[in-house]
Amino acid sequence: MNDTDSKHIQAELEKHKGYTATQNIEDADLIIINTCSVRERPVQKLFSEIGQFNKKKKDGAKIGVCGCTASHLGKDIIKRAPYVDFVLGARNISKIKDVVDVKGSVEVSISNDDSQYEFAIAKNNSYRTSVNISVGCDKECTYCIVPSTRGDEISIPPEMIVSQIQKAVDNGAVEVALLGQNVNSYGKRFSDNREKYSFTKLLQDVSKIEGLERIRFTSPHPLHMDDEFIEEFARNPKISKCIHMPLQSGSTAILKAMKRGYTKEWFLNRAQKLRSLIPDLRITTDIIVAFPGETREDFEDTLDVVKQVKFDQIFNFKYSPRPGTKALDLKDQEIDDETGSARLEELIELHKRYLEESMPLMIGKTVNVLIESLKPNGEVSGYTDNYFLVFTKGSDELLGKFVNVKITDASRTSLKGEIV
């Protein structure tokens, strides 16, 4: 969502304040740092980056800090770095045109409602667009700082979502990514108190847009993967057959401590149902190791799920304590750093071995690829429907087109082939 927020910020500044983007920091009149606070390291890195930007910027240039870290640190950012001109929280992106000219402005309310604000149109990759379908998060995962930085979940009206996608399609987009903290809880609450809606219904509405070829979304919550959703996902030809299922842990005991709301058995049941309906499905996930209280047996449960589901990509993290989260109450159960690092490495190595076995199985197969990027070595790249990254020889004439590629080589992370 940060990427889409950044595009909103840029589009609003271009439309309302006349700014244009530059890649050269010395030329910039305004430097904006859009932040993430999910883990501790990016927060620590923020003040180092602010200092570097302050040294490099030209006289009179402004610095603004936006996003989740802005939400939870607020005015403390200016206290620690007084050369920062304004601070804008993740729930306040629509106010960028107002704060940019107000020295010392801090707008970080998590009660602000951007859900019906019509942002200026961002200049996306012309073949792919991304659209936020909700703001905030109602979950209470004990390790996560997001609800305290983005506030309660509010869904964006479906007609606004469809309209935004239609405009992007009219400008050449053929793919959309629907974004939310928990997309499949969409429609439970709107700011205008309209009747409840469902994510499945939204997928059906978006699918009706002529000229739109692919629909992706992230992230769904495993708890809300009901049969209706799974069956729509399987049968709808426009929905990309790659799904992100954030596991976090394979241990039911740890999942309970995390307040995830589901069990190991539920997660496996949902993954198995998806696999049974979609033979070429690819599943990606997030996993946290060394959550407070995690025993070796708990970690073995996580490894067991990884072996059973055979995830195609894993975003692995070692538990990082975040301010204001309930997991801080488990400090006396925290896992020592050496054990945590060892478990992380063991998980990474297990997954590497699987990819080394599975990716070469694609050699000889022909896949359909949307070409999106031109590389300096005479190659182009793009993604298949189920989100394999594919490289092939080609020119800019292929950009935005679907081509069939016969796979001739494979690595753990991508495929290479020839257009047929």
Q: Which of 218, 219, 225, 171 minimizes the C-alpha distance to 198?
A: 225
Q: What does DSSP assign to residue 334?
A: P
pLDDT of residue 379: 97
Residues 6 or more apart whose CB falls under 8 angstroms from that of 200 comprise 228, 229, 232
CA angle in degrees (0–180, nearest 5) for 205-210-212: 80
Q: How many separate helices (H) and strands (E) can be counted in the chain?
A: 13, 17
User: What's this model's pTM, rounded to 2 decimal places?
Assistant: 0.91
For residues 136 and 131, give the distance between their C-alpha atoms in angstroms, rounded to a whole number.
14
For residues 101 and 305, give the distance between their C-alpha atoms in angstroms, rounded to a whole number.
51
Q: Which of 181, 85, 165 minimizes the C-alpha distance to 128?
A: 165
Say if strands 415-419 and 128-132 run parallel, antiparallel, or are unpaired: unpaired
Q: Which residue segments constitute the domains of the chain, with CATH numbers given?
A: 2-107 (3.40.50.12160), 363-419 (2.40.50.140)
**Mean pLDDT of all residues in 274-295:** 97
Percent of the chain with pLDDT over 70: 98
For residues 293 and 83, give the distance between their C-alpha atoms in angstroms, rounded to a whole number.
42
For residues 119 and 251, give the distance between their C-alpha atoms in angstroms, rounded to a whole number.
42
pLDDT at 124 > cutoff 60: no
What mean pLDDT value characterizes the chain? 94
Q: Could you report the per-residue pLDDT of 167-218, keeping only the tens digit for each? A: 999 999 999 999 999 999 999 999 998 899 999 999 999 999 999 999 999 9
pLDDT of residue 19: 95
5-to-106, 112, 122, 198 alpha-carbon distances in Å: 17, 15, 10, 24
Residues paired with residue 391 on neighbouring β-strands, in sequence order: 381, 416
Tokens 């025993």 belong to residue:
295
**Mean pLDDT of all residues in 136-154:** 92
- Categorize the per-residue pLDDT at 126 as very low, low, confident or very high, splitting at 50, 70 and 90: confident
pLDDT of residue 324: 87
Q: What does DSSP assign to residue 281?
A: -
Q: Could you report the per-residue pLDDT of 301-336, keeping only the tens digit for each? A: 999 999 999 999 999 999 999 888 999 999 999 999
pLDDT of residue 286: 98
For residues 366 and 50, give the distance between their C-alpha atoms in angstroms, rounded to a whole number.
47
170-to-127, 164, 187, 374, 400 alpha-carbon distances in Å: 11, 10, 26, 23, 14
Q: How many other CB atoms sit within 10 Å of the CB of residue 223?
A: 17
Q: How many other CB atoms sit within 10 Å of the CB of residue 395?
A: 11
pLDDT of residue 113: 87
Peptide bond preceding 219 in cis form (omega within 30 of 0): yes
Q: What is the DSSP string of 165-201?
A: HHHHHHTT--EEEEE-TTGGGTTS-BTT-PPP--HHH
List of E strands, 90-140: 105-107, 128-132, 134-135
Percent of the chain with pLDDT over 90: 86
Tokens 């793919």 belong to residue:
175
pLDDT of residue 123: 65
Helix (H, G, I), strand (E, B) or coil at 323: coil
**Mean pLDDT of all residues in 108-115:** 89
- Categorize the per-residue pLDDT at 44 as very low, low, confident or very high, splitting at 50, 70 and 90: confident
